[in-house]
Amino acid sequence: MAASVRMLKMAAEAGDVSSMANYAKARLLGEGGAKDFEEAKAWFTRAAEQGNGRGLNGLGILHYTGSGFPVDHKQGADYFEKAEAAGFTSSAYWLMQVYRDGKGRAADQDRAARYALLCADAIGEPSCVVPAANALLFGVGMPKEAKRAMDMLLTAAKAGSVDAIAMLTVVYEHGIGGIPKDAGAVQYWKQQLEIAVRKL
């Protein structure tokens, strides 16, 4: 086990709630050794019992994905919402999926769009940027904000997001969301897309 993970475990065993959740995350991801869902579950539970948002979110992930528990989308969604209520903004990534896919809650594309935007704004998760920008361009679950959508897409594209580059190509090709069609931009972003795909 890596020294940093050992130190997290020591702090968790000493009662530090944040360390409990972070150690659980390390065990879930296999940092410092093999993945250990049972140990992750135990430490996420201890943190969650004290209201820790990462602990609640971690239990949500375990239930929602069936890691250490049978798959239970409803229970996972319950924990994600509790994590959000505890101020853990990263739960927006999972809540976006819950409402987009209708697993654990009734499908609600407006709510999914709002969680995508929260996810993109609060934690910068690349997989949230395109759905959030799409919602802003079309006014799904929120007012249309083409400039904000384009700013998000450009930032993600410059960071290498293939999905954002592809979306920019489509936006400029079809003039989506009131953005003027721009053949030069289409050509540029198609070239960037080819470069980005080659790097995968």
The confidence score (pLDDT) of residue 69 equals 86
Q: What is the pLDDT of residue 3?
A: 80
pLDDT of 190 reads: 96
What are the counts of helices (DSSP H) followed by strands (DSSP E) for the chain? 11, 0
In contact, 141 and 110? CB cutoff 8 Å: yes
* Upper half-sphere CA count for residue 9 (Cβ side, 13 Å): 14
Task: Give the position of tokens 């296999």.
Answer: 30
CA separation, residue 98 to residues 29, 31, 88, 120, 150 (Å): 21, 27, 16, 16, 26
Element (H, E) at 151: helix 146-158
Q: How far apart are CA 134 and CA 122, in angstroms?
A: 17
What values do phi and psi take at 80, rounded to 5?
A: -60, -40
1-88 is a CATH 1.25.40.10 domain: yes
Q: Where are the domains of the chain?
A: 1-88, 115-200
For the four alpha carbons of 99, 105, 111 and 116, in that order, the dihedral sign comes to negative
The residue count of the chain comes to 200
> Could you read off the pLDDT tens digit of each residue along the chain, which spans 200 residues?
678 889 999 999 999 999 999 999 999 999 988 899 999 999 999 999 999 999 999 999 999 999 988 999 999 999 999 999 999 999 999 999 999 999 999 999 999 999 999 999 988 888 899 999 999 999 999 999 999 999 999 999 998 899 999 999 999 999 999 999 999 999 999 999 999 999 88
In this prediction the pTM is 0.86
pLDDT at residue 1 in the model: 61
